[in-house]
Chains A and B, each alone.
Chain A
Amino acid sequence: MKPSAVSYSRPGSVDEALALLTEHGSGAKVLAGGQSLVPLLSMRLAAPERLVDINSLAELGYVRVAADGVRVGALARHAAVLADRPAAERQPLLAAALRWVAHPAIRNRGTSVGSIVHADPAAELPAVLSVLGGTVTAASTAGRRTVPALELFAGPLETTLRPDELAVEAFFPALPAQTGVAFAEVARRHGDYALCGVAALVRLDDDLRIVQARVGYLSVAGTPRVLELTGPIAGRSYDAELAEAGRLAATELDPEPDIHATAEYRRQLAQVLTARTLQSAARSAAGVAAGVPA
């Protein structure tokens, strides 16, 4: 339970960090909060040759709120993003999901961007980024590119970023008008890995009828899943029962069993949480205080 020997660099600038990643390629691993990486090192599931510690790059510690959404820098800790009120107002799904991320001691160190590019299928933020259609900005010595969430996640703990790239920012777009979101998950204990988690987004028309219902899932597949569930509930009023959307989700998803839950139980959770969070999101879109308990 101790990491293997590793060399270490603590760059003082983003350019220096990118040069190190180019130099060391797949032998390098970026250390930000380390709340997922350090246990992997200790269990020797990961044994990089070099750690590139970005904790000195204070310029990446930002949470920026603009009309089009929220931009989170690579060194912004979960706790800082969660406490950022303007960010929560611009994109309420962020705070709604972040309060489910582990425990405060982890959120004080772990970074939101790090959690995204760690790509744990049981993590909240990859599903949030996916359902919102957000992006990650990847930087390398060759330049910068923007990767849409749906092209980012390749498998469990695997992204499409190259070894020489540093994820410098995640962008969570703001909600369109008359759109609401909600988040819920079931874990054995608050802060533990979710058995199933659901991030819902509902858009209403001027008559407060549903025109779009989109749901992101965690812990039901190797990558975040996003389902468009508008079909069976299109045109429903914001306060209608939405059980059909849950049933559709249950047929679309094919969760795996593990020691924590059977596949059937996960599917049942997905069905129930889908209907519940969609209803909560629809009420929120209508400006009605969410009356559905999470």
Chain B
Amino acid sequence: MTDELHPITLRVNGIPHQVNVPARRLLSDCLRHDLGLTGTHVGCEHGVCGACTVLVGGVPMRSCLLLAVSMDGEQLTTVEGLAAADGTLSPVQQAFAECHALQCGFCTPGFLTTITAALVEQPDPSRDQAREIVGGNLCRCTGYQNIVEAVLRAAELMKDEA
């Protein structure tokens, strides 16, 4: 079967993109291959690891479990959209740097997007809640302790900002 292409519009980090995709194109691949936004990482590609998590309309979803064609018209935020235009790190990114919450960095984009969305809902998480926030993301380097610290530190930074 030859792939029929479907025209879609995605607004990614505020910028509209028009792209023609076959129905089978995963959103993760559309972001990386069609739009060149390689910050979104693809780990397990079946929804387990969380590395490819992006925000759709502000809420986290696994981009490897979404078909790009089904996202027509959606507003997406990827890890590239977290820092300010001048490169200033977001509170979650700043906290990751301060707390040494990454080693190889492969899983980091998914953690950053997941935590960014969660702290909007829960601006003052307890340590237990912080653990639960990152419970759906896998990291094979850090042992998670510093990631949990970074969640709490990010909440602190956001409070200072407010």
Contacts and interface: CB of A to CB of B under 8 A. Distances in A.
B65 A106 contact: yes
Contact of A109 (B6, B45, B66): B66
Interface residues of B, number: 32
Nearest 3 CB-CB pairings of A with B: A103-B136, A8-B23, A3-B24
A105 B45 CA distance: 14
B135 A189 contact: yes
Given A4-B24, A5-B3, A109-B61, A38 B114 contact: no
A108 B1 contact: no
A290 to B, nearest CB: 20
A34 to B, nearest CB: 6
Contact of B26 (A38, A53, A102): A38
B118 interface: yes
Interface of A: 1-8, 10, 31, 34-35, 38-39, 41-43, 49, 51, 53, 55, 79, 102-106, 108-109, 189-191
Nearest to B69: A8
Interface stretch (B10-18, B46-54, B97-105): B46-54
21 contacts: A2-B24, A3-B24, A3-B67, A6-B23, A8-B4, A8-B69, A10-B69, A10-B72, A35-B65, A38-B47, A38-B64, A41-B24, A43-B46, A51-B23, A79-B59, A103-B136, A105-B61, A105-B114, A108-B59, A108-B61, A191-B136
B65 A191 contact: no
Given A105-B50, A105-B60, 14 more contacts: A3-B67, A7-B4, A8-B69, A10-B70, A34-B65, A38-B26, A42-B45, A79-B59, A105-B53, A105-B114, A106-B136, A109-B62, A109-B65, A191-B136
Contacts of A103: 50, 135-136
A104 B1 CA distance: 36
Q: Which has the most chain B C-beta neighbours within 10 Å: A5, A79, A191?
A: A5
A23 to B, nearest CB: 17
Interface string B1-41: 11110100000000000000011101001000000000000
Given A104-B60, A105-B50, A5 B65 contact: no
Contacts of B132: 190
B23 to A, nearest CB: 3
Contacts of A109: 56, 61-62, 65-66
Contacts of B62: 35, 105-106, 109
Nearest to A103: B136
A7 B61 contact: no
A221 B111 CA distance: 35
B108 to A, nearest CB: 16
Contacts of A38: 26, 47, 64-67
